């Protein structure tokens, strides 16, 4: 049995570690964090960070660093629940979260479709995505997430290029309460106002840029 | 019961307001805060006829929601019509086009004449869009008028129908407070409109509109009135969460937004803010133009 002092010293070393090492975002992405429980991102999110659509693992490449960092912190504090990511985020220290978020934000991503709020949308899915349904207080997705779902600033992540399975899972997570980390509760009521069929259709709409309305 | 009585009174007022009123001043709409639920439903997109008229409806719609990009010569800031008229000009309590079109032609004290609907839209371009309005008989103005007319299909003319304009939010007894307004702004608005009211862009185009500064509405726009902005905010903001702010919060944050500089009033009288204040702002609702706040004169204008 180890003397208690060794355990304490060990803990202190671990606590002191974040400030002592310069976290390397690329290394965390490729090989994982200092703590072996912090597995390499690329295993699930793909070597290019663009996600694995078939599995519903999300794209991280080109997402805003502030958004990624907030999500990792929220996995830690429980306001975003996800069985795989929670222990993984808890195994990353603050410096590592900052570093890997900054690295991911710089990874190249495919451009969102250049869809404009311009044409009257006859297709109900396009209408919901572009203009919303105000009888149910649903703004158009692109009004906050940008043209074609490009993402806007740090708080409104891209929808374009995300696997449909991931988008469906997130909308359902807001509806069932397992995700509650939206700023000012801007997303939760929108998700709850949507039907199952709309959740699926809108997810497909943004996951497949080809299905988007053509630019006039 | 004490609560019920004022409600009943207001409901009764709402009914009285629905009676036709001819040729009231349409500069600053008097819209009761609590009124009968809007009944009017604008036509569905699928009802647009497939002919020359329908084509013009679609063109007007495109200009309405993508104004800045499609009419760069007419729009001098970063705004689209649909920024102040939500849901493509369809939404009740968001100054819907179907509440405006059937009220024109109408007298407006703002320019002291009877205005056609086209002239009313020109006012939007001059002030809210800080630009140069297209000619009243231009194809663009025709398209915008046709879109408004189509949205008003089967609406009665000359009737103040429920849902028009922005419902009045009574001025709180204690007035408004900039400090509280700043706090509301930072907590509720900055996430979209930016810490300095600058809005947010994607690829050089505004997605979230600027609320002050050179790319926002100018000092002659109706929205520069604190009472009008409070009404708009209370019933339309944050996007998707209308009526979530209290009356007090709406006034406080409207005052905070409208104490910031924006493009000069294009009606500037002989280069004098004071003369402009006396002529155009002294009797125009609650506004800060030409007044001093914390020792600084408001209304100096910004940008070109």
Q: Which of B65, B88, B202 sits opposite A152 (nearest CB)?
A: B202
- Residue B58: pLDDT band with limits 50, 70, 90: very high
pLDDT greater than 50 at residue A18: no
pLDDT greater than 90 at residue B32: no
A85: Cβ contacts below 8 Å, ≥ 6 apart:
A75
Of A106, A138, A153, the last residue of a domain is A106
Please tell me the predicted confidence (pLDDT) of residue A5.
Answer: 52
> Which range among A36-40, A122-126, B79-83 shows the weakest confidence by mean pLDDT?
A122-126
Mean pLDDT for the stretch of residues A70-87: 95
Q: Which of B65, B66, B191 sits opposite A183 (nearest CB)?
A: B191
Please state, in angstroms and rounded to a whole number, the distance separating the CA atoms of residues B97 and A205.
Answer: 30
Mean pLDDT for the stretch of residues B169-174: 96
Of A78, A106, A134, the last residue of a domain is A106
Q: A11 lies in a domain?
A: no
Q: What is the interface pTM, i.e. ipTM, of the complex? A: 0.87
- Residue B33: pLDDT band with limits 50, 70, 90: low
Listed residue (A148, A207, A203) closest to A174, CA to CA: A203
Q: How confident is the model over B112-149, as pLDDT tens digits?
A: 999 999 999 999 999 999 999 999 999 999 999 999 99
Burial of B4 (0-12, 13-18, 19+ CB in 10 A): exposed
Nearest residue in chain A measured CA to CA from B80: A117
Q: Domain ranges for chain B, please list them.
A: 17-32+47-151, 178-297
Please tell me the predicted confidence (pLDDT) of residue B34.
Answer: 57
Please tell me the predicted confidence (pLDDT) of residue B234.
Answer: 98
Please tell me the predicted confidence (pLDDT) of residue A215.
Answer: 40
pLDDT greater than 70 at residue A155: yes
Q: A6 lies in a domain?
A: no
Q: How confident is the model over B242-259, as pLDDT tens digits?
A: 999 999 999 999 999 999
Please tell me the predicted confidence (pLDDT) of residue B24.
Answer: 65
A157: Cβ contacts below 8 Å, ≥ 6 apart:
A63, A64, A67, A145, A151
Cβ-Cβ contacts under 8 Å, A150 against chain B? 202-203
pLDDT greater than 70 at residue A79: yes
Question: Given an 8 Å threshold on Cβ–Cβ distance, is B202 in contact with A120?
Answer: no
**3-state class of A14 per DSSP?**
helix
- Mean per-residue pLDDT of chain A: 88
pLDDT greater than 80 at residue B264: yes
Instruction: Give percent of chain B above pLDDT 70.
Output: 90
pLDDT greater than 90 at residue B281: yes
Please state, in angstroms and rounded to a whole number, the distance separating the CA atoms of residues A42 and A49.
Answer: 6
Please tell me the predicted confidence (pLDDT) of residue B64.
Answer: 97
> Which range among A122-136, A162-176, B24-38, B217-231 shows the weakest confidence by mean pLDDT?
B24-38
Q: A111 lies in a domain?
A: no
Q: A199 lies in a domain?
A: yes
Q: A41 lies in a domain?
A: yes
Q: A112 lies in a domain?
A: no
- Tell me which of A143, A148, A181, A215 to substitute to probe the interface with B (most B C-beta atoms closer than 10 Å): A143
Q: Which helix (H) or strand (E) holds A88?
A: helix A85-90
Burial of A196 (0-12, 13-18, 19+ CB in 10 A): exposed
Q: pTM above the 0.95 mark?
A: no
Tokens 């937004």 label which residue? B257
Question: Given an 8 Å threshold on Cβ–Cβ distance, is B87 in contact with A132?
Answer: yes
Question: Given an 8 Å threshold on Cβ–Cβ distance, is B70 in contact with A153?
Answer: no
Contact A42, A52 (CB under 8 A): no
Angle value at C-alpha B190, between B188 and B191, nearest 5 degrees: 80
Listed residue (A41, A67, A42) closest to A158, CA to CA: A67
Q: Residue B248 phi/psi, 5° resolution?
A: -60, -45
Please tell me the predicted confidence (pLDDT) of residue B77.
Answer: 98
Mean pLDDT for the stretch of residues B176-201: 98
Please state, in angstroms and rounded to a whole number, the distance separating the CA atoms of residues B293 and B260.
Answer: 10
The boundaries of the domain holding residue A131 are 124-211
Q: Which of B202, B239, B242 sits opposite A146 (nearest CB)?
A: B202
Please state, in angstroms and rounded to a whole number, the distance separating the CA atoms of residues B4 and A162.
Answer: 51
Q: Which of B45, B82, B241 sits opposite A122 (nearest CB)?
A: B45
Mean pLDDT for the stretch of residues B52-77: 96
Please tell me the predicted confidence (pLDDT) of residue A20.
Answer: 46
Please state, in angstroms and rounded to a whole number, the distance separating the CA atoms of residues B80 and B70.
Answer: 10
Identify the CATH number of the domain in which residue A96 sits: 1.10.760.10
The CATH superfamily of B178-297 is Cytochrome c-like domain (1.10.760.10)
Please tell me the predicted confidence (pLDDT) of residue A121.
Answer: 73
For the domain spanning B17-32+47-151, the CATH number is: 1.10.760.10
- Residue A161: pLDDT band with limits 50, 70, 90: very high
Contact A158, A112 (CB under 8 A): yes
Nearest residue in chain A measured CA to CA from B238: A186
Question: Given an 8 Å threshold on Cβ–Cβ distance, is A155 in contact with B191?
Answer: yes
pLDDT greater than 50 at residue A98: yes
- Residue B9: pLDDT band with limits 50, 70, 90: very low
- Residue B304: pLDDT band with limits 50, 70, 90: low
Q: State how far residue B225 is from chain A, nearest Cα, in angstroms.
A: 26
Does B24 contact A at CB distance below 8 Å?
no
> Binding residue per annotation — A73?
no
- Residue B151: pLDDT band with limits 50, 70, 90: very high
Number of domains in chain A: 2
Mean pLDDT for the stretch of residues A37-57: 95
Question: Given an 8 Å threshold on Cβ–Cβ distance, is B66 in contact with A117?
Answer: yes
Question: Given an 8 Å threshold on Cβ–Cβ distance, is B202 in contact with A147?
Answer: yes
Please tell me the predicted confidence (pLDDT) of residue A27.
Answer: 96
My answer on whether A99 and A131 are in the same domain is: no
Please tell me the predicted confidence (pLDDT) of residue A112.
Answer: 86
Interfacial residues of A (vs B; Cβ cutoff 8 Å): 116-122, 127, 131-132, 134, 137-139, 143-144, 146-147, 150-153, 155, 183-186, 189-190, 216
Please tell me the predicted confidence (pLDDT) of residue A6.
Answer: 53
Nearest residue in chain B measured CA to CA from A155: B191
Please tell me the predicted confidence (pLDDT) of residue B16.
Answer: 40
My answer on whether A66 and A35 are in the same domain is: yes
Please tell me the predicted confidence (pLDDT) of residue A126.
Answer: 92
Please state, in angstroms and rounded to a whole number, the distance separating the CA atoms of residues A214 and B168.
Answer: 41
Cβ-Cβ contacts under 8 Å, B88 against chain A? 131
Question: Given an 8 Å threshold on Cβ–Cβ distance, is A184 in contact with B238?
Answer: yes
Please tell me the predicted confidence (pLDDT) of residue A114.
Answer: 76
Question: Given an 8 Å threshold on Cβ–Cβ distance, is A183 in contact with B82?
Answer: no
């Amino acid at each position: 049995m180890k003397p208690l002092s060794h355990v304490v010293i060990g803990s202190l070393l671990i606590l002191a570690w974040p400030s002592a090492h310069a976290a390397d975002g690329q290394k965390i992405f490729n090989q994982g964090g200092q703590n072996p429980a912090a597995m390499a991102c690329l295993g699930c999110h793909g070597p290019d960070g663009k996600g694995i659509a078939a599995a519903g693992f999300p794209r991280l490449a080109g997402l805003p660093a502030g958004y990624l960092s907030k999500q990792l912190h929220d996995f830690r504090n429980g306001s975003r629940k996800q069985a795989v990511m929670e222990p993984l985020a808890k195994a990353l220290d603050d410096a590592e979260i900052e570093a890997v978020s900054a690295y991911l934000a710089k990874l190249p991503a495919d451009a969102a479709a250049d869809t404009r709020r311009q044409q009257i949308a006859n297709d109900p899915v396009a209408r919901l995505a572009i203009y919303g349904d105000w009888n149910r207080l649903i703004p158009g997705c692109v009004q906050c997430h940008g043209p074609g779902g490009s993402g806007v600033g740090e708080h409104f992540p891209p929808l374009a290029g995300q696997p449909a399975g991931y988008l469906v899972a997130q909308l359902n997570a807001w509806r069932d309460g397992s995700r509650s980390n939206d700023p000012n509760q801007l997303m939760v009521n929108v998700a709850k106002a949507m039907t199952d069929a709309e959740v699926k259709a809108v997810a497909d709409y943004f996951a497949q840029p080809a299905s988007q309305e053509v630019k006039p | 019961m004490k609560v019920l009585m004022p409600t009943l009174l207001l409901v009764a007022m709402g009914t009285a307001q629905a009676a036709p009123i001819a040729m009231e001043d349409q500069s600053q709409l008097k819209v009761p805060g609590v009124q009968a639920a809007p009944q009017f439903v604008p036509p569905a997109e699928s009802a647009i006829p497939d002919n020359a008229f329908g084509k013009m409806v679609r063109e007007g719609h495109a200009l309405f929601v993508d104004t800045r990009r499609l009419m760069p010569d007419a729009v001098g800031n970063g705004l689209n019509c649909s920024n102040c008229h939500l849901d493509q000009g369809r939404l009740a309590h968001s100054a819907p086009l179907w509440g405006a079109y059937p009220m024109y032609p109408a007298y407006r004290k703002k320019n002291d004449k009877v205005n056609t609907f086209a002239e009313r839209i020109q006012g939007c371009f001059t002030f809210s869009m800080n630009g140069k309005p297209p000619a009243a008989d231009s194809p663009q103005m025709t398209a915008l008028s046709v879109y408004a007319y189509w949205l008003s299909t089967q609406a009665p003319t000359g009737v103040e129908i429920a849902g028009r304009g922005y419902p009045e939010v009574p001025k709180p007894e204690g007035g408004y407070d900039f400090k509280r307004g700043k706090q509301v702004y930072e907590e509720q608005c900055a996430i979209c409109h930016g810490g300095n009211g600058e809005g947010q862009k994607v690829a050089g185009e505004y997605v979230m509109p600027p609320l002050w500064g050179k790319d926002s509405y100018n000092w002659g726009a109706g929205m520069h009135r604190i009472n009008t902005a409070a009404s708009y905010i209370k019933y339309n903001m944050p996007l998707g969460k209308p009526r979530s702010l209290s009356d007090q919060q709406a006034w406080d944050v409207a005052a905070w937004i409208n104490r910031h500089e924006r493009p000069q009033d294009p009606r500037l009288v002989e280069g004098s803010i004071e003369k402009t204040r006396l002529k155009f702002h002294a009797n125009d609702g609650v506004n800060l133009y030409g007044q001093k706040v914390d020792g600084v004169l408001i209304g100096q204008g910004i940008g070109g």
